[in-house]
Amino acid sequence: MIRRLRKYDQALIESHFNSLDDEALYSRFGTHVPSQGLQNYLSDILADAAFIFGAFPDSCLRGVGELRLIPDHRHHVAEAAFTVEKAWQDQGIGDALLSRLITIAQNRGIREVHMLCLATNQKMRRLAAKHDAELTLVPGQVEATLTTPWPTPFSMAKEFTSEYRAFARAVLSWPNQAPTSQVAQD
């Protein structure tokens, strides 16, 4: 299940990022991230107009996809980034997150989505190529550029139904936290 993350998901997001090892964080940010730098990043992750989505394959947050508009750009351009817990990689979570972000970009008139990954990150390179991204080698990194189609009634319906299904699943799987009451016997 993929759903948009909101302010009330802040603790889940922090827990997800804090569970990632140094290698996963290095792969996500392209550099070593000190603990305080990560905490600063996480404190603002939902503060702007970014679209943040979470993957919940087992009702726990296992992957996060981010789509952020590139400010002051002449064209509608955004950047996408992902993290997926190591034990949950190679199960289609990154693909599902990227597909959702592409639909979000498409429906908002964002014409290009850029992703930057380490040149050694074969998984991200394959994922970008699967979505017909143009790959450009830059020193030590690969930049993937996806061109999104114009919005259509189908893409709008796809976004709406995806969010509705995710909401319905979340409600149906919500843990029952009502206190157990005992009826006094006469």
**142 - beta bridge partners?**
117, 137
Per-residue pLDDT of the chain (186 residues; tens, 9 = 90+): 899 999 989 999 999 999 999 999 999 998 899 999 999 999 999 987 789 999 999 989 999 999 998 876 666 899 999 999 999 999 999 999 999 999 999 999 899 999 999 999 999 999 999 999 999 998 889 999 999 988 888 888 888 887 777 777 767 766 543 333 334 444
Tell me which residue range forms the domain holding 14.
2-170
Q: Provide the domain count of the chain.
A: 1
Q: What is the CATH number of the domain that holds 105?
A: 3.40.630.30
The DSSP result for 65-104, as a single string, is EEEEE-TT-SS-EEEEEEEE-GGGTTSSHHHHHHHHHHHH
Is 32 contained in some domain?
yes
Is 181 contained in some domain?
no
Q: What is the model's pTM? A: 0.84
Is 88 contained in some domain?
yes
Is 185 contained in some domain?
no
Is 119 contained in some domain?
yes
Is 176 contained in some domain?
no
Is 177 contained in some domain?
no
Is 74 contained in some domain?
yes
φ, ψ dihedrals at 111, nearest 5°: -85, -25
- Residue located via tokens 């750009």: 73
